[in-house]
Structure 1
Amino acid sequence: MEKFKRKVFYLGGFDPRGVRFYHQLYREQAARYAALSGEAVEVSARRAGPINSAIWTVSNPDAGVETDYEYLRWEDLVGKVWIRNPLKLGWRSIATYVGHARHMQFKRMKQLRPGPVLTILYPPFLAVMIPLLFALIPALLLWIVLPLWAAALAGVAASALLSGRWITKLVVPWLLRFTYYHHRLAAGGPGEALDARLDQFAARIADELDGPWDEILFVTHSAGTILGMSVMRRLFDLRGGAMPDHFVMLGLGQVVPVVGLRRDATWYHADLRALADKRFRYVDISSPPDGAAYFNVNPLLLHSDAHVARVDMLSPRFHLFYDPENYHGGWSNKYEAHFDYLRVGDRPSPVDFISLTAGRSTVDQAVERFRTIA
């Protein structure tokens, strides 16, 4: 069997955990895929890439596949703006939501997909209401037997002890950090450090476009789907014309409207408009139950009436591939659901992450097979 050689560039989301976490996650999911499929998938140790990247090799000898997987690193930049102090986070969140109130096209966002509007708006509400309820309910009950001042102190103590756990469980701090960062990104642009990093990523992908690969995937996930569009504009500036036929941009849990629908993000609007007349293959896999993702919202049409890219918009239909007890549904699982794009379910899917990056099928073949599943 002739070896199928694939190159993967992965650009992840707003997450300070970085390459160690994602390399281990890939190893775990590759082992799960191997157990389910019977294919012996091996994942090498990671090594430093030629730029701000890390590389590992994925070997699937049973399918005759070898994948050179390159993780594009920007977690150091995330770490510099990751707010850990809850009081500082609360204060910065005020500016964030003032900015959203002034500049976000919430009406259009709701028309595109109402779920992410709720995801953006519920964190500040819960950040106030959960501590208030955990203080108020015990205080009112204790007021029956205690003086008001003692009942109030007891309520405050109960809130301090219990509310943090529930706020974290409902991923409120992560969403506030995510929203604050993208408020700043929309208003001020990437800044010098991120701008240089995106230039590096585009140049690195351009270097491999004429390499010995049967398929080249540029995979973006979560907030990486926002930056990925800017990388694509830079890639076309370097390359010109159309991408080669074996190149595919893959968006997982796409959140482009978070910045794309800010009226003040004119720099980003220009990036999206610049892609309207560019020929490339784009596959968007976003889940309707994922409250952060924009299922069936084509980012290339946010600021253009038409495009020439070949686009498929898919739901991963996780419910078909997970047993009910393992399916990440419900409010408390929103964070985990947003990472199911990088996992393998209880049954392999043609478009699960390991199938796409370590399996024999090309993306086009996988999409065609996936569409036949009832």
Structure 2
Amino acid sequence: MAEQAASNQTVRTRRVFYIPGYDPIHPRRYRELFRKESAAQAEISGYEVTLKPKSIKGGYGWRAHSVIDGAETETEFEVLVWSDIVKGSMEQGILQTYGQLVRTAWTYIVPGVLWRLMKLRRGPVIAALYPIVFLLVQLMLALALAALVGWGLSFAHPWAAPLGLAVVWPVLAWFKKKDAKFFAYYLMHDYAYSAKTEGAYAPELEERLAEFGNRIAAAAETDVDEVLVVGHSSGAHMGVTVLADLVRAGRIDEGRVSFLSLGQVVPMVSFLRKADRLRSDLAIMGAQGLIPWVDVTAPGDGAAFALCDPVAVSGAATPDKKWPLVVSAAYSHTLSPERQADLKWAFFRRHFQYLCAFDRPKSYDYFQITAGPLRLWERYGGKKPSKSRIDNSVSKYTSLAA
């Protein structure tokens, strides 16, 4: 068995470019996650993955050596960093954040975008509504406490009641300080970042995406056996744009690059009025014949638009559409009942499960895909798309960039 697997090996060297979602944390987090979870999956599945320092200059990353069914593979990982842009967008005070709340709610609710998103999946829409609702709850609690304090002060002097308003700001500041537990400010900044431009890319992000494209194109010119781009969460639609630009410019040859999107939230951006650029990128990536694209989500991930074909639902499908292949990570089958119970209320952890070990693995194995001996399409080429996928056009806005 091992000799046969080794003889089928097509990847001995690989470059992986990982595009994170909206995350202000240092990229070392992803190295540590890979180290811990690859060891767990290797023990479960009976193979070896060893991490080493990266050997390629530039960027933050690591190197992985794997031995799977007798086949040895060396993979260089690089995190395409935009956490500095995320941090900058999160540097908002309390009043600014409530201003974001109003603008974001207006952008999604008034044109009817939110209701169309609800037709796809309720989970990510609830996740989008959560920061709006909870920030309003915080404000109401602060005002209620102010009214109570004012009522108490009124017994001392009738004119002292308005002094109760002095407690509003400290209460709101306390909630903001504790946001590591509540995630209301974090999620508000996340959704507000795209809503601010109504789906268009901000100039600083356009510049960063161009840098990402240059790094990927340079890797594709080397002698590695596969260049794999992985986009997780918001990083999925960024990956679409980066690769679409390379296809437009003729900078990618057939069979050199593969694309894996995980836990995508593409409709949260592509459904917005000014997302013409992203919809055009989706149309190109859906029809091109150079880069195999596999989209993996799971209904158990309430933060993703699970099994929603991002090209089709965004109204960007052309008659010659080929991609993506939409498949499920199927948490209900690939995680034991005990593991599912552990993750029941761990919403963020479930959104990152694609990057983690499965205790009942089936066809999806992040570590075999990114560090194993086969190219992405060799692993998925014979697989049929999920029967439960949603592939009808739902977006109100379907215009493409000129």
Q: TM-score, normalised by structure 2?
A: 0.77
Single out whichever of 76-85 and 199-208 deviates more from structure 2: 76-85
User: In structure 1, what is the equivalent of residue 61 of structure 2?
Assistant: 55
* Kept after mapping to 1: 8 A contact 2:197/2:274: no
Other structure's SS at 1:18 match: coil
Q: Does structure 1 residue 249 correspond to structure 2 residue 259? A: yes
The partner residue of 1:9 within 4, 7, 17 is 17
Other structure's SS at 2:48 match: coil
The partner residue of 1:68 within 67, 73, 76 is 76
Other structure's SS at 1:288 match: coil
C-alpha RMSD of matched pairs (Å): 3.5
Q: Does structure 1 residue 316 correspond to structure 2 residue 326? A: no
Q: Distance in 2 between matches of 1:276 and 1:201?
A: 20
The partner residue of 1:208 within 187, 205, 219 is 219
Q: Distance in 2 between matches of 1:75 and 1:43?
A: 23
Q: Which runs of 5+ in 1 are unaligned?
A: none
User: In structure 1, what is the equivalent of residue 400 of structure 2?
Assistant: none
Q: Distance in 1 between matches of 2:53 and 2:338?
A: 33
Map Cα deviations across residues 323-351 of structure 1 (whole Å, 9 max, x no partner).
33433644x42111111111112244432
Q: Does structure 1 residue 266 correspond to structure 2 residue 286? A: no
Q: TM-score, normalised by structure 1?
A: 0.82
User: In structure 2, what is the equivalent of residue 177 of structure 1?
Assistant: 189
Runs of 4+ off more than 6 Å: 133-137, 155-167, 368-371
Other structure's SS at 2:264 match: coil
Q: Which amino acid aligns with 1:183?
A: A
Single out whichever of 267-276 and 281-290 deviates more from structure 2: 267-276
* Kept after mapping to 2: 8 A contact 1:272/1:303: no
User: In structure 1, what is the equivalent of residue 123 of structure 2?
Assistant: 115
5 Å-filtered alignment, 1:1-374, equals: 4-46=12-54, 49-50=57-58, 53-61=59-67, 62-83=70-91, 85-103=93-111, 105-129=113-137, 132=140, 168-186=180-198, 188-191=200-203, 193-239=204-250, 243-245=253-255, 247-279=257-289, 280-301=291-312, 302-306=314-318, 307-327=320-340, 329-330=343-344, 332-367=345-380
Q: Distance in 1 between matches of 2:228 and 2:51?
A: 18
Q: Distance in 2 between matches of 1:225 and 1:74?
A: 13
* Kept after mapping to 2: 8 A contact 1:351/1:366: no
Single out whichever of 348-357 and 124-133 deviates more from structure 2: 124-133
Q: Which runs of 5+ in 2 are unaligned?
A: 1-5, 385-402
- Identify if the C-alpha distance between structure 1 residues 117 and 213 changes in structure 2 by more than 3 Å, giving closer, same or farther: same
Counting aligned pairs with the same residue, the percent is 27
Map Cα deviations across residues 176-215 of structure 1 (whole Å, 9 max, x no partner).
1111111124355321x32122112112212222432333
Q: Which amino acid aligns with 1:127?
A: L
* Kept after mapping to 1: 8 A contact 2:176/2:185: no
Q: Which amino acid aligns with 1:277?
A: A
Single out whichever of 125-134 and 227-236 deviates more from structure 2: 125-134
* Kept after mapping to 2: 8 A contact 1:282/1:309: no
